[in-house]
Amino acid sequence: MINSISQFHRLLSVHDPLHPLVSVVHVEDIRPVNNVVWEGFFLNFYTISLKRNVQAKGKYGQSYYDFDKGVMSFTAPRQLQSHVIPVEIDNQQKELGTGYVLLLHPDFLLQNPLAHKILTFGYFNYSINEALHLSEREEQDILDLFRKIEQECEHIDRITQDIILAQIDLMLNYCNRFYERQFITRKPVNSNLLSRLDQLLNNYFDEKKAMKNGLPVVKDLAEQLKVSQRYLSDMARTLTGQNTQQLIHDKLIEKAKERLMTTNLSVSEIAFELGFEHSQSFNKLFKNKTNVTPLEFRSTFN
């Protein structure tokens, strides 16, 4: 665990931070020390990065995005990370590119509404291949905020925290908007992802895997689709108005209706076949989704 921002600065071979709980690092200044820590490490603080001219662009899934200006990525405290030390070319680490990295310790957010609000931004749990790609105009908005935060870190007084937090709050709101834009501009790719999710659910129920394994789990579905849970749910919500769990419930009701209409299975048997341990839970979900009980639904077809 890398607990302090100062410790992380030393590992990156950059100057000591001017503030112990928040700092802005220039990507082009980073020279990671040769240390086994990079094979797998945890940070005890948030990071927000904006990079460009990164040589190893393939790791960001570049071909799926509409813009090729700035690339942003986000990490939350205590997330397992790894880093490959880039090869030096003419004494310059070209792979790292240029840009900024904001390091933000949770203690800096104490007693501020942002301490809770930051937990609602799903992109802190996205994978690196789900990074945010910015248009030129979007990049300039974010660069201005990085520079303002960096400047404010040089003036540590009783107003510093309020000003920095206001800039970070604005940055996160911008990023939330830009991710929604990215979900839409990548609609063909994301629609394909939703189709694959739908097919996974169809196969799960039609092959009666639920009888053995129970109800579908978002984590397992995301792993099969090779995306993070939060990205899958946020993308689904943007395109359909529902998160992944709600889509699972919709599929459950769809399959339940099929069985109620086309078989003579009892409600308990259908509940078990769909992965429910108790038929009462199935009845409750069905009633919540359709406003009628399973038996009442079946009676309309008899």
177-217 residue pLDDT tens: 999 999 988 888 888 999 999 999 999 999 999 999 999 99
Flag whether pLDDT at 46 surpasses 70: yes
* pTM, to two decimals: 0.82
Picking from 60-64, 112-116, 200-204, 283-287, which range would have the lowest pLDDT averaged per residue?
A: 60-64
Nearest to 214 by CA among 242, 243, 261, 248: 248
pLDDT band at 55 (very low <50, low <70, confident <90, very high): low
Q: Are 88 and 142 in contact (CB under 8 A)?
A: no
- How far apart are the C-alpha atoms of 114 and 166, rounded to whole Å? 9
pLDDT of residue 80: 81
pLDDT of 63 reads 41
Lowest mean pLDDT among 53-57, 78-82, 267-271: 53-57
| φ/ψ of residue 24, rounded to 5 | -125, 125
Lowest mean pLDDT among 13-17, 30-34, 84-88, 152-156: 84-88
Predicted local confidence at residue 50, as pLDDT: 95
Given this model, what pLDDT does residue 165 score?
A: 97
pLDDT at 30 > cutoff 60: yes
Is residue 67 pLDDT above 70, yes or no?
no
pLDDT number for residue 154: 87
Reported as a single tens digit per residue, the pLDDT across 13-27 is 999 999 999 999 999
pLDDT at residue 58 in the model: 38
The pLDDT confidence band at residue 39, using thresholds 50, 70 and 90, is: confident
Question: Between the CA of residue 299 and those of 244, 277, 287, 290, what are the distances in Å?
Answer: 30, 24, 14, 14
Give tens-digit pLDDT for 134-181: 999 999 999 999 999 999 998 878 889 999 999 999 999 999 999 999
What six digits make up the tokens of 146? Answer: 């990085």
Higher pLDDT, residue 75 or 129: 75
| % of residues, the chain, pLDDT over 90 | 75
Environment class of residue 288 by beta-carbon count within 10 Å: exposed (0-12), middle (13-18) or buried (19+)? exposed
Which is nearest to 51 in space by CA: 121, 125, 132, 151?
132
Mean per-residue pLDDT of the chain: 89
How large a percentage of the chain has pLDDT more than 70? Answer: 90
In the prediction, which pLDDT does 96 show?
Answer: 63
Which domains, ranges and CATH numbers included, belong to the chain? 5-185 (2.60.120), 188-299 (1.10.10.60)
The residue that leads in pLDDT, 217 or 66, is 217
Model confidence at 87, pLDDT cuts 50, 70, 90, reads: very low
Binning pLDDT at 50, 70 and 90, where does residue 89 land?
very low
